[in-house]
Amino acid sequence: MSGQAGSGDEQDPQASPPEAGPDDRRHIPVLVDRVDQLLAPAIEAATADGATDVVLVDATLGMGGHTLALLQAHPRLRVVGIDRDPQALSIAEQRITAAGLADRVELVHAVYDRIGEVIAATVASGRVQAVLFDLGVSSVQLDEADRGFAYAQDAPLDMRMDPTSGITAAEVINTYPGAEITRILREYGEERFAQRIARAVVTERAKRPFTTSARLVELVRANIPAAARRTGGNPAKRTFQALRIEVNDELGALQRAIPSALQHLSVAGRIVVMSYQSLEDRIVKRAIAPLTLSRTPLDLPTELPGHDPEFRWVVRGSQAPTDEEIQANPRAASARLRAAERIREAAT
């Protein structure tokens, strides 16, 4: 999972036992069988047509769990794996090499909104047969306490998916105006008590800057009424989600990435996106849905050339994991999957 219904329901890293650490090379990718079931028709159709380069872009490679499963299931498949996290890329490379599959994979250190640029640089035709996004925070990031994603352990307030660049969560908390912190908590975390928390942050940082997570967790807890703390898990999870989204520009990157990915899908190519909170899922739906509709006026009896849908939904709505999948991998609980297929070339 490189990634994570309502944004407050995003995967809770403290809600279930963590997966084995990356040194064990064990990792359960979310909905891996379902992902293969959805992408296989596009991969197999291209293979049957004699395509010389059948390519999947794993836009959120993480530890490489989905990529490994798909490479093993489809012997002619080549994968371009993208991840912004150098640590995740290193672990994925080791796992792929150990499986003897390195010659079929090209790894790229980048944010997934550069997917069009990456495809142009790695795929001669500029078109691919499959794209996979598994959004949210990765197992590497969750299980490494010093990355600052998990609020159950005191750690530096970092939260950068790429720890080599960008601002940290501490910089956001210590330097953003109170009104901007309120907006971030309200929009990205759907936090009802955003203004109260932001005011407390501004007061406390004037005494001493925030550097680690424990002090922020305690501040959030103290500024959420007791009645509201009785349900929904750790009250800090919405604040931490909001800060992580801001630090990594997750929603902005997604808004840029999905249209670019769709543009580079070949006819009969498929895209699968797994999101873990409503803000992400809404962006995915809004990017794809208009392309599944006819643009021919309703009062015309026949479809106008170039006005018929470019895509079709492969699954209806957003698909949740089964009880069995959640039992096997608790971090899949909040996953929502959407899948679509290109059915004609874009109009020029």
Count the helix, strand and coil residues of the chain and give each as a percent rounded to the nearest 5. 45, 15, 40
* Number of domains into which the chain is organized: 2
Last residue of a domain, one of 220, 248, 276: 248
User: Binning pLDDT at 50, 70 and 90, where does residue 153 land?
Assistant: confident
pLDDT at 300: 76
pLDDT score of 193: 97
Interval 268-274 mean pLDDT = 98
Tokens of 197: 């928390």
E strand or H helix that includes residue 337: strand 336-342
Longest dimension (CA), the chain: 70
Q: What is the mean pLDDT of residues 103-111?
A: 97
Q: Flag whether 305 is in a domain.
A: yes
Q: What band does 13 get if pLDDT is binned at 50, 70 and 90?
A: very low
Check pLDDT > 90 for residue 143. no
Give the pLDDT confidence score for residue 308 in this predicted structure.
84
- pLDDT of the residue at 8: 36
Has residue 2 been placed in a domain?
no
One-letter amino acid at 296 equals T
Q: Which residue would you say has higher pLDDT here, 260 or 300?
A: 260
Query: Which of 181, 216, 248 lies at the terminal end of a domain, its last residue?
Result: 248
Please give the backbone phi and psi of residue 270, each rounded to the nearest 5 degrees, phi first: -130, 150
Mean pLDDT in residue range 69-97? 96
Query: Are residues 168 and 242 both part of a single domain?
Result: yes
Q: Of the given ranges (173-187, 220-234, 266-280), which has the lowest mean pLDDT?
A: 220-234
Which segments are annotated as binding site for S-adenosyl-L-methionine? 64-66, 83, 112, 134, 141
Buried b (16+ CB within 10 A) or exposed e, 55-74: bbbbbbbbbbbbbbebbeeb
| CATH number of 243's domain | 1.10.150.170
Residue 294 is predicted with a pLDDT of 80
* Model pLDDT, residue 144: 61
Q: Residue 18 falls within a domain, yes or no?
A: yes
**Closest to 7 in 3D by CA, of 340, 203, 245, 330:** 245
DSSP state of 112: G
pLDDT over 80 at 56, yes or no: yes
312 in a structural domain: yes
Looking at the whole model, is its pTM more than 0.75? yes
The DSSP bridge pattern shows strands 128-134 and 265-275 to be parallel
Residues 270 and 229 in one domain: no
- pLDDT for residue 265: 98
> Looking at residue 297, what is its pLDDT?
76
Q: How far apart are CA 266 and CA 42, in angstroms?
A: 9
Residue 165 carries which side chain, given as an amino acid letter? S
Domain residues for the domain of 233 are 149-248
Q: Is the pLDDT of residue 2 over 60?
A: no
Binding site membership: which residues? 64-66, 83, 112, 134, 141
Both 203 and 314 in one domain: the answer is no
Does residue 294 share a domain with residue 270?
A: yes
Name the one residue in this structure whose structure tokens are 């490489």: 64
For the chain, the average pLDDT equals 88
- Identify whether residues 163 and 266 lie together within a single domain: no
338 part of a folded domain:
yes
Asked if the model's pLDDT at residue 53 lies above 80, the reply is: yes
pLDDT for res 227:
85
Do 244 and 254 share a structural domain?
no
Q: At what angle do helices 65-73 and 86-98 cross, to 10 degrees?
A: 30
In a domain, 168, yes or no: yes
From 132, 84, 86, 91, select the one nearest 248 (Cα to Cα). Answer: 84
pLDDT at 9: 39
21-25, 175-179, 255-259, 280-284: range with lowest mean pLDDT: 21-25
Write the burial class of residue 332 (CB in 10 Å: 0-12 exposed, 13-18 middle, 19+ buried): buried
- Asked whether the CA dihedral 187, 86, 65, 273 is positive or negative, the reply is positive
Mean per-residue pLDDT, 315-335: 90
Q: What is the pLDDT of residue 27?
A: 66
Secondary structure of residue 38 in the 3-state scheme: helix
- Asked which of 223, 248, 273 is the last residue of a domain, the reply is 248
Residues 63 and 129 in one domain: yes
130 with 14, same domain: the answer is yes
